[in-house]
């Protein structure tokens, strides 16, 4: 059977790197086009995480009930963040550009707002549940530990955002940096051998 772990993990690494580049580009330039790029990469990043974990957990032999819950959680992340960012790109920001008076509570980048609440729920709560499901559903020590750390960071960021917006940034450490490390671990896998990530 053809090994697809390495290429799918590599695609996850590439998506994460481009995502962090998009964030950096916006922070440096503050340009509208850079913000659009960042928002699009957020949606693409959710799809990339879903794709990587679908393939890898199938090969890892993850327990079915936890894998199903993980896929539901990842799908919720992708759907909710897509709604938030596509609405921002296609509706809210064009209206702002036209000079329309759009209240901050429906704009991305303003907290608390409807769009930011949706995004934080997607990436904090549901992504945290996905990583928790991964932790519960596999037997490998190294991936389990990393999954639990990622879940804890996502949950901490989500809950922390209710007290201080700056605490939210714990979550990106989980789904961003943590997932990047996880993809590197998956890259070590060889055809028919899961010990590289489960020992």
Please report, for the chain, the start and end positions of each structural domain, with discontinuous segments joined by +.
5-189
- pTM confidence score: 0.88
| Pairwise CA distance, residues 28 & 62, whole Å | 41
Question: What is the pLDDT, as a whole number, of residue 190?
Answer: 61
Higher model confidence: residue 130 or residue 191?
A: 130
170-190 mean pLDDT: 91
163 exposed, middle or buried (CB, 10 Å; 0-12, 13-18, 19+)?
A: exposed
Phi-psi region of 103 (alpha: psi -120 to 50; beta: other; left: phi over 0): beta
Residues in CB range of 16: below 8 A, 6 or more apart: 45, 48, 176, 179, 180, 183
In this prediction, residue 192 carries a pLDDT of: 52
Which carries the bigger pLDDT value, residue 23 or residue 98?
A: 23
Q: Give the N- to C-terminal CA distance of the chain in Å, as an integer.
A: 22
- Return the pLDDT at 196: 44
Compare 64 and 194 and report the one with higher pLDDT.
Answer: 64
Distance CA 188, CA 106 (A): 43
Average pLDDT of span 110-120: 84
What confidence tens digit (pLDDT) does each residue in 1-45 have?
357 888 999 999 999 999 999 999 999 999 999 999 999 999 999
Tell which wins on pLDDT, 182 or 4: 182
Peptide bond into 108 cis (omega under 30): no
Phi and psi for 138 in degrees, rounded to 5? Answer: -120, 165
% of residues, the chain, pLDDT over 70: 93
């Amino acid at each position: 059977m053809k090994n697809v772990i390495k290429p799918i993990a590599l695609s996850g690494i590439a998506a994460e790197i481009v995502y962090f580049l998009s964030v950096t580009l916006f922070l440096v330039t503050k340009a509208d086009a850079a913000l659009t790029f960042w928002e699009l990469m957020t949606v693409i990043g959710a799809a990339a995480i879903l794709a990587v974990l679908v393939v890898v957990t199938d090969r890892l032999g993850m327990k079915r009930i936890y894998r199903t819950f993980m896929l539901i959680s990842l799908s919720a992340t992708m759907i909710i963040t897509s709604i938030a960012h596509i609405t921002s790109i296609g509706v809210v920001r064009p209206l702002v550009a036209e000079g329309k008076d759009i209240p901050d509570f429906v704009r991305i980048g303003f907290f608390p707002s409807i769009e930011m609440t949706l995004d934080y729920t997607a990436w904090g709560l549901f992504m945290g549940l996905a990583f928790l499901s991964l932790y519960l559903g596999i037997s490998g020590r190294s991936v389990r530990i990393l999954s639990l750390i990622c879940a804890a960071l996502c949950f901490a960021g989500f809950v922390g955002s209710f007290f201080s917006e700056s605490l939210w940034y714990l979550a990106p450490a989980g789904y961003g940096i943590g997932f990047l490390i996880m993809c590197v671990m998956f890259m070590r896998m060889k055809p028919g051998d899961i010990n590289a990530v489960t020992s």
